[in-house]
Structure 1
Amino acid sequence: MPDTDLSEPVAHQLAEWIRKVNPQVTEVPGDLDIIETRTITSLQFVEFLLYIEQLRGAPIPPGIADINTFRTIRVIVDNYFRSPVEAGE
């Protein structure tokens, strides 16, 4: 399965970051559970959160941060990079 929708530039950047820190990963589908599959380690996860904040240009608000909102690239993009209008809310 190909990477998540590459028309989403941020999804592509997140997938590239994962491949960079874990060269054994060749594809990062948008629905791959990166936590369950241990695609990134717990230490890499902290770096990943910082990278997400860097891409957002803002910190992740603690009140909305939930482990389930970081499981897949698709969920990350939906929760942290789309406006409520784009997300259909």
Structure 2
Amino acid sequence: MQCLRRLADHNDQLTILVSIHAPSSDILYLFDQLYILAKGGVCIYFDSPKNLKMKLEQNNREEFREDRPPIESYLKIACQGMLFD
């Protein structure tokens, strides 16, 4: 992933799409944008990785816990097929 990040940084004309099923927080922050899909292919998040926590807090998601990375909450939501209001 770091190699792809460097490649994208050195070529403004290049778009790289990657599908990762359970990324670590370190890997998430290598991306410019994230799409998180729930059951049925419904997008439940599209934004910068740095806004994951803020979006959970704004929507008062019960899945959000301070003691774990925000991506874990999104993965739980995605597996349950739940959407934001």
> How does the TM-score come out when normalised to structure 1?
0.31
Q: Determine which structure has the larger strand proportion and give its number.
A: 2
Larger Rg: 2
